[in-house]
A and B are shown apart, each in its own frame.
Chain A
Amino acid sequence: MPPTPPAVIETRALTKVYPGHVTALDGLTVSVAPGVTGLVGANGAGKSTLIKILLGLLPPTKGQAKVLGHDCGSSADTIRTLLGYMPEHDCLPPDVTATEFVTHLGRMSGLPPTVAKERAAESLRHVGLHEERYRQIGTYSTGMKQRVKLAQALVGDPALLLLDEPTNGLDPAGRTAMLELIARIGAEFGISIVIASHLLGEIERICDQLVAIDAGRLLRADTITSFTQTSQVLAVEVTEGLAQLQAELAARGLAAAVHAKTLLVPLGGDGTYDVVRDCVADLALPLCRLEQRRHQVEELFRDDQDEQERVPHA
């Protein structure tokens, strides 16, 4: 990695207040490097507002945002030729074929007629739609519709893709397939990607870096490795002696937090498993669950507030 690759997205003190004093973004300052980036936050954290500002659809109340070096206010037109956007919600007309639809949107991206046709066919093939693309979209499964949404974002050959909750409404297999597809686009197509999601556990697998926002403010922005180090925990459940176990773990240097009758132990490495095992064995407690927990992003946010609870009551 070069020392400082130019940021694909840069915001400075970005604030958006909707009429009625609803603050969606509150002084957000963040810089996103090229690659696959997860934009995580609970529902209402400000992800969609941020995306709309980046697309130049909403003017910020205060602050500045830049995409690929262009200012979102003054160069919104330029930015929109460089972006591909996949909205969260359903956005496909049921009564046209995927080919017609993506071709038309290719035209709307500024592609000449024949190029639009070629690229539409190619984009649909890239997302895994083959013969189906000549069928009306209304007959598609949710997974296929998500693919069409991705294909229309891809058709204009964007430098940056903004994907808003791309796995929405998909079953587990569909989610995995969609994430693999996105990872491929990021790795092999050379397109930077920002994925907005409220499921950290899901997207962390394919992201190079994560930006976590909460209530319109930046919570943390870091590479995926430093994120997972701080966010992965071991959930330990025992049918009795929870406090005992917590004290024992504290004595051996592991600060465990109690959360809904479960002990959450920060996962340092394989050694952590051994310590927990030994503690449970030494205290002869009935262990009923021991699992590596993938954080929901809400839990990540709770960490700071729960700091006090973590102090073991000896």
Chain B
Amino acid sequence: MPDSLQAAGVIHDLGYRGYDGPRLGRSQIVRALTWHSFRSSFGIGRGAKAKIIPVLAFIAMCLPALVNAFAVARGNSRLFGYDVYSPTLRVVVVTLFIAAQAPELVSRDLRSRVLPLYFCRPLRPGDYPLAKYLALTGALLLLIEVPLLILYAGTIASASGGRAVWHETRALIPGLGIGLMWAVLMAAIGLVLASRTGRRAYATGIVAITCFLTWSLSLLLLQAEGGMTATSTGARLAGLFSPFTILDGVRMWLGGTSPGEVANPGHYGPLYGVLAVVLLAASLGGLAARYRKVSQA
């Protein structure tokens, strides 16, 4: 490598300059990592290939809202509820998105073993998963809430009178809250599953299969128990077997009335709430434990 010797000679001439300027604190570094991860969860700052899935997912998610704007303009009433939106589409797109992008956020760094380079810097072991979690939550919020806002905008554009607008706004707010719930829980589940392995294809598989299998299981159980309108105990509990149906159960428990993915949980509602919180805590705990271990390896 004769070039390198020459190159080393150049070093001498240029001289080294230290840095005495201000340095960011830990929280600012976490913020920088969060922003960096948020951008890469949409493929920004990566190649064109990395943008395909997030952009397609986003477009797919916006389609119903765009169709609604068209329909409302022609005199129809609003096609989708703000609380459930288009239920199946939302499950499928969110699953696809976290299956593709959670590995992008965590498996890549595991795979290329870049983590020691983070942990030898001012970041603490818990900061890294925190930043990744905030980033994916933010990305899911964008994915879920922007279509709701388009749905809202499309509807009020053709609404007549302040009363109708107020009515729409009041319907939108709980919808946004449910979107937040989805983002908070699904980001945690996606990351804890994806961080199990550095192999991206496996990580994607683990996330997708876990989400789809549990979802299908819940739907099948519900069907066996008589479907969405059934009021048997079995039907009320069928939704407890997958994160999506748990989220929908919580929605109904909190007063949601639109038909969604599950039968009305009735007095089992609190069970859905507790399970959602337990699932979130377990996922975040698992994520933190994972990175405590990785940081010492």
CB interface residues, B 4-26, toward A, < 8 Å? 4-5, 7-8, 10-12, 14-19, 21-26
CB interface residues, B 106-124, toward A, < 8 Å? 108-109, 111-114, 116-124
CB interface residues, A 83-137, toward B, < 8 Å? 83, 85, 87, 89-95, 100, 104-105, 107-112, 115, 119, 122, 125-126, 128-130
B33 to chain A: closest residue by CB:
A108
Assembled-state Cα–Cα distance A107/B26 (Å): 11
- Judge if A143 is at the interface, Cβ distance under 8 Å: yes
| Cβ distance B36 to chain A, nearest Cβ, rounded Å | 6
Contacting pair A128 B11 (CB below 8 A): yes
Interface size, chain B (Cβ < 8 Å): 48
Range of interface residues on chain A?
35 or more
Q: Which of A55, A94, A126 contacts B11 (CB 8 A)?
A: A126
A188-B26 contact, Cβ under 8 Å, with A107-B32, A143-B4? no
CB interface residues, B 181-224, toward A, < 8 Å? none
| Cβ distance B234 to chain A, nearest Cβ, rounded Å | 46
- Judge if A303 is at the interface, Cβ distance under 8 Å: no
Contacting pair B16 A92 (CB below 8 A): no
Contacting pair A91 B112 (CB below 8 A): yes
| Cβ distance B37 to chain A, nearest Cβ, rounded Å | 11
Assembled-state Cα–Cα distance A87/B47 (Å): 27
| Cβ distance B126 to chain A, nearest Cβ, rounded Å | 13
B24 to chain A: closest residue by CB:
A110
- Judge if A80 is at the interface, Cβ distance under 8 Å: yes
| Cβ distance B73 to chain A, nearest Cβ, rounded Å | 44
Assembled-state Cα–Cα distance A1/B77 (Å): 86
| Cβ distance B132 to chain A, nearest Cβ, rounded Å | 13
Find chain B residues with CB under 8 A from A110 CB: 23-25, 28-29, 121-122
Find chain B residues with CB under 8 A from A250 CB: none
CB interface residues, A 268-293, toward B, < 8 Å? none
Assembled-state Cα–Cα distance A176/B5 (Å): 9
Assembled-state Cα–Cα distance A234/B33 (Å): 55
Find chain B residues with CB under 8 A from A119 CB: 19
- Judge if B1 is at the interface, Cβ distance under 8 Å: yes
Contacting pair B4 A174 (CB below 8 A): yes
0/1 per residue, A135-162, Cβ < 8 Å to B?
Answer: 0000000010000000010001100000
Contacting pair B1 A92 (CB below 8 A): no
- Judge if B226 is at the interface, Cβ distance under 8 Å: no
CB interface residues, A 2-51, toward B, < 8 Å? none
- Judge if B270 is at the interface, Cβ distance under 8 Å: no
Contacting pair A93 B114 (CB below 8 A): yes
Q: Which of A95, A109, A180 contacts B8 (CB 8 A)?
A: A180
Assembled-state Cα–Cα distance A23/B274 (Å): 44
Assembled-state Cα–Cα distance A83/B33 (Å): 20
A85-B11 contact, Cβ under 8 Å, with A77-B124, A104-B36, A157-B18? no
| Cβ distance A37 to chain B, nearest Cβ, rounded Å | 18
Assembled-state Cα–Cα distance A57/B108 (Å): 21
0/1 per residue, B79-113, Cβ < 8 Å to A?
Answer: 00000000000000000000000000000110111
- Judge if B160 is at the interface, Cβ distance under 8 Å: no
Question: Other than the known A128-B4, A184-B11, what 13 A-B pairs have Cβ atoms closer than 8 Å?
Answer: A55-B120, A57-B119, A57-B125, A85-B116, A93-B111, A95-B46, A109-B122, A110-B122, A122-B17, A125-B10, A128-B10, A171-B1, A177-B8
16 A–B contacts from the bound complex (CB under 8 Å): A81-B122, A87-B120, A90-B113, A92-B112, A92-B114, A108-B29, A108-B122, A109-B121, A110-B25, A110-B121, A112-B22, A128-B10, A143-B4, A152-B117, A177-B5, A180-B8
- Residues in chain A within 8 A of chain B (CB atoms): 52, 55, 57-58, 77, 80-81, 83, 85, 87, 89-95, 100, 104-105, 107-112, 115, 119, 122, 125-126, 128-130, 143, 152, 156-157, 171, 173-174, 176-177, 180-181, 184-185, 188-190
